[in-house]
Structure 1
Amino acid sequence: MKYALLDRGDSLSRELAEQFHALAQYKGLKEDASSPDVVVSIGGDGTLLQAFHRFIDRVQDVAFVGVHTGHLGFYADWKKNELAQLVDLMATTEPQKVSYPLLRIQIVTDDETRSFLALNEFTLKSMEGTLVAQLNVNDEPFEMFRGDGIVVSTPSGSTGYNKSIGGAIIHPSLEALQIAEIASINNRVYRTLGSSVILPKHHHCDIVPEPDEPLSIWIDHLTMQLQGVRSIICTVAEDKVHFARYRPFPFWNRVREAFIGSNPDELEHKRPK
């Protein structure tokens, strides 16, 4: 078993990283930062996003494991006091591989087409205030958007920015993408659906901004500023991200713990008799 490790960089995460390396050496695991079998992130979901983009060229070949230094996250599901258990399982147990869909973003300008993968979401805003863009679905005009911005998320990213602007939570076993509006303006000229739209695999969405509009673009935690964008094509990627599960932790349990907080016993106690 070969592993690579990325930590958040704070004192606690670095201390845990040192502990992990010591435990891994004792158990016979080999550190390999260039071609690991498993990538371990220590910090939180944001750290795992960084790990994903660091190993994006090998996304089909590696599996990710997250250790959270605070509360459990959607990607980081091991607690800081469980390192010994995790290392022991990595050394002795074949994990279950869980695969989640990714988002493919193609940004077309006059000069080139650039392609990106997102684990969580793609966000588009104008650098000059209101964003104006036409949305096409499967090459057919769908709506003319005017507002603060557009978020296109993966199912696993649906619990993030997408949820905060009213999008639906989607189970990550579904191969789909979700388009959500940020403060759309609706009048006789600009009309939008007013709710998020979920597209299945093999469908695509084209976002066509005004040609000279300077744009702010986020792909997960990565940011860029572009002008002269002709279209942005969003699809469910052929590639998937893989997570190494050494113990079960169902998605809806994560959702409950993150947003509701009640454990099953408390919910049973509150159930109407």
Structure 2
Amino acid sequence: MSLKVLLDDLAGEVLRVWPAEPRFHHRGATDLDRAVPLSLLDRYIDYDLLSPQYVAVVKDGTAVHPGRFSRDSKLVPGRVRDLIDEGHTANLREVQRSIPYLAQITREIERETGYPTYVSAIITPPHCQGLAHHWDQFTGVVAQIAGRKRWPLWKPVVDHPMEDYLSSPRTWTPELQQRLESTAPDAEFELTAGDTLVVPRGWIHSPHAIGSTTSYHLTFALRERPWLWLAQQLVGLAIEELSFRAALPPGGFAGGLEADVRAAQAMTIDFLERLESAAASARIRAAAD
């Protein structure tokens, strides 16, 4: 139960050299496909077993306001199904919170990679599209479970986006949209049941369902830990030192903070130079588990 469930022998290669370009693998029918079929997600939808905060409904790049399918923090019975029948894509996020099999896989992936992971179930009616061109702030491992979906992909236009920094909603421009609409993709994959596609962080994609049956895939979102994360954890250990917990002098902001910034730089450099790396590593690992 790990990345090997999604990628077979390719998992070892991916863990050795994290992919910078899309990777395709045909895994065939596995325990994943048998444990989380479309019929299971249909029951979650039809019995309104989902939490609205984890449900998004999208059609042709436009999201449906949650008020159309939820009220008082509960789903309106039957409304998500109605929207799917009208051609909308249902994005059921964090499904590992309610499906034990997926919870087990994500925990194993987190142990293997050290990356927080969650799973989204994406259900798209035939010949329809949910999100249009965009990129993600994580590496997605896409496992097609049912139906067919075409994935055109374009090389990143920003380097290593993370969290809100360089996200596609904040960075998108009409010029970029026009360029993508008039330029052939750098790679294209057609996924059918039993296929897995690794989409590296930042790669632009605009997937859409093809064929006469509903497309259903699971996206395992691996939220890579950048070097900035580790630096933040190291500096965070300084909370145990009294000098770092002391208040900044009042009035510093009015004066531009330059002197205080220099003082903080000196304090931080001194702290990091004194920090014992083995002990710091053990503490950061324990906190991240």
Could you tell me the TM-score, scaled by structure 2's length? 0.26
Instruction: Report which of the two structures shows the higher radius of gyration computed on alpha carbons.
Output: 2
More helix by share: 2
**Higher relative contact order structure (alpha carbons within 8 Å, sequence separation ≥ 6):** 2
Could you tell me the TM-score, scaled by structure 1's length? 0.27
More strand by share: 1
